[in-house]
Chains A and B, each alone.
Chain A
């Protein structure tokens, strides 16, 4: 008889330092319950616009099912370049400065792997999307969280950033409009961050996947700031703007040297992004603006509904100006984020995500997604009202 093996002995050491996602635990709790109203989702509740789905179906019917160039279809990269030069006045060569990826998720992963040497520090501005810290660890880097504050509308300041910089710092990851806070950064505030980036010779990884979902004023693309184009790895995709989460469509825009090194990983690990999704993305960029604006206006209405509602409940909620999340403070209730979210789920069957899942800076907050129907938002608010009332006695 051969000796039995212990599979756990094979797991790589560095993975043991990555805690399992707090979202995962909540997901498991929720999936055991019925009749849950969910404000816990990080994806649009709209179905992908029909013209996009139709273009994909058409392409499949015509047998368009092969690999594409490793970079992605040139037509798609050209459309992306056109978008950036028209919308943000920043020019990217579609042949050498653009890479189509399997969602922003892949773009994020290979962007970090492309620039991080073992031991390099990467500053992660928090509260942040849950993938940033683990992705840095997977790449052999050291994540350095920096907390933003509600009192500053969850914007990062140049002082906060400076304080976290050491001689090992290689890059900074920001995400505005932000998941989970809904915060945005205006141009002036970003300019002061750009100064710090130049002064310390850093690379900025800017995840702008929510750029279209900006409700007051216009989004500022980090790469459009003077001198920032070649210091930015710009990440964006179609999941949020065009309600295309399941298509897995993203892209990275950066200087040719950076795209080349990302490409090195991408060509061997992914080969190319799915062709059907790329066809859908081309259609989205060519003819999708009207549908995007319609969805944005509906999110905007729900935003008013949920923010007004949460504040009425006595949960202080700063005004989110982008994405589709409200991020109320629950500290007035005396509960931790986890206890609040778990209590709300068990007693009132409303699913939310505790803020601490998104880093230290999220302690005492709750992420409530308003990518949910108005009816669900109303019901959730009513149930939350009961829950909060119940805490008082």
Chain B
């Protein structure tokens, strides 16, 4: 990856709404080159999507999140991909990861209540042929999401002038 591409990706990863003009200011590139470069990154899938991290709890929405660990048996040939595909098609499932260690797959699931999530896991996930067992962990509080700390960091005082 060249230096400019890395700059663009880091800038957008931190703030997806950074305007091309600002990216140009920060990299010394022309606005035109920035726009072209970003389009290319979008086209070849390096930039997947622009999203917003929302503190739903603060907004008053009582979403329930759970982390579900699965043990699975593998279908011949198809491997983990087949089961992953079955799982990620549920809109309730927010992420699907293949793991090393005691469990095979970890999901995050979002629902409107504990009951809803519990029933979703019992009816839709546990009943899948390949799924041997599930362990559900309900999330009590999220402190950090996708690299973002979900509460105000303390303000650090520095001298205004120093040598």
Contact = CB atoms under 8 A, between A and B. Distances in A.
A263 B95 CA distance: 58
A308 B28 contact: yes
B161 A26 contact: yes
B28 to A, nearest CB: 4
B153 to A, nearest CB: 9
Interface stretch (B4-12, B54-62, B106-114, B135-143): B4-12
Contacts of A230: none
A42 B163 CA distance: 5
**Interface size for chain B: under 10, 10 to 19, 20 to 34, or 35 or more residues?**
10 to 19
A131 interface: yes
Interface in B139-163: 156, 158-163
Interface string B1-28: 0000011001100000000000001111
A305 B162 contact: no
Interface in A29-79: 30-31, 36, 38, 40-43, 45, 47
Contacts of B10: 297-298
Interface residues of A, number: 30
Given A47-B156, A301-B7, A308 B25 contact: yes
A358 to B, nearest CB: 9
Interface of B: 6-7, 10-11, 25-28, 156, 158-163
Interface string A344-355: 000000010100
A30 B160 contact: yes
B163 A301 contact: no
Nearest to B153: A47
Contact of B161 (A30, A129, A305): A30
Contacts of A305: 25-26
Contacts of A131: 163
Given A27-B162, A40-B162, A308-B25, 18 more contacts: A30-B161, A31-B160, A38-B160, A42-B162, A43-B158, A43-B159, A43-B162, A129-B163, A131-B163, A297-B6, A297-B10, A301-B7, A301-B26, A301-B27, A302-B26, A304-B27, A351-B160, A374-B26
Given A304-B27, A305-B25, A309-B25, A36 B7 contact: no
A85 interface: no
B162 A36 contact: no
A23 B160 CA distance: 11
